[in-house]
Amino acid sequence: MLSIIITHHKTPILLKLCLKSILENIGDIEYEIIIVDSQTETVVRDLIEEKIFNKIKLISFSKNTGYAKLVNTGIKVAKGNNILILNADILVLKGSIQTMLDFMKDNPQTGIIGPQLLTFSNQVQNSYFKFPTIGAILARRTFLGKLKWGKEKLNEFLMQKEDSSYQKVDWVQGSAMFVRKEAIDKVGSMDERYFMYLEDTDWCRRFWKNNYEVIYLPLAKMSHYYYRASKKWNSFLDVLFNRYTRIHLISAFKYFWKWRKV
CATH at residue 50: 3.90.550.10
How many domains are contained in the chain?
Answer: 1
pLDDT tens, N- to C-terminus, the chain (262 residues): 999 999 998 888 898 899 989 999 999 999 999 999 876 655 566 665 555 556 788 898 888 888 999 999 999 999 999 999 999 999 999 999 999 999 999 999 999 999 999 998 899 999 999 998 888 877 776 777 777 877 787 778 887 676 678 999 999 999 999 999 999 999 999 999 998 889 999 999 999 999 999 999 999 999 998 654 444 445 444 444 456 677 778 888 899 899 886 6
Give domain status of residue 184, yes or no.
yes
- Cβ burial 242-251 (10 Å sphere, 16+ → b, else e): beebebbbeb
Give domain status of residue 260, yes or no.
no
96 membership: H or E segment, kind and range: helix 96-106
Give domain status of residue 13, yes or no.
yes
By the 8 A CB rule, do 236 and 139 touch? no
Give domain status of residue 154, yes or no.
no
**Residue 115 belongs to domain spanning:** 2-132+161-229
Give domain status of residue 255, yes or no.
no
Q: Which amino acid is at 210?
A: N
Q: Which amino acid is at 130?
A: K
Give domain status of residue 62, yes or no.
yes
By the 8 A CB rule, do 247 and 240 touch? no
Helices (H) and strands (E) in the chain, counts: 10, 11
By the 8 A CB rule, do 44 and 35 touch? yes
**Per-residue CA distances from 18 to 135, 171, 250 (Å):** 36, 23, 30
Give domain status of residue 76, yes or no.
yes
